[in-house]
Amino acid sequence: MRRMSVQTRVSIDIQRIRREKNLSQEEVAHRADIHQTYLSGVETGKRNPSILVVERIAKALGVDVSEVVRGI
């Protein structure tokens, strides 16, 4: 069985957490000070965010960064 890439795992976790918290992409992007289209790209795996951006997104979601990268 092939393991999921780090980028794919992070994308899935960010989207899952955002949806569990009933937050829109716009709200999370605003809180993380990134553009909504960039967040969309992160969630779909089209963008490869830096660890600093992942940290900002995690903070915007109200979780520790370890929650976003837990499947790695």
CB atoms within 10 A of CB 25: 17
CB atoms within 10 A of CB 5: 12
Closest CA to 34 of 12, 17, 19, 49: 49
To the nearest 10 degrees (0 to 180), the angle between helices 51-61 and 36-43 is 100
pLDDT of residue 40 exceeding 60, the answer is: yes
Q: How far apart are CA 19 and CA 27, in angstroms?
A: 12
What's the predicted TM-score (pTM) here? 0.90
Quick one: pLDDT band at residue 69, thresholds 50, 70, 90?
confident
- Element at 51 (helix H, strand E): helix 51-61
Tell me the domains of the chain and their CATH numbers: 6-68 (1.10.260.40)
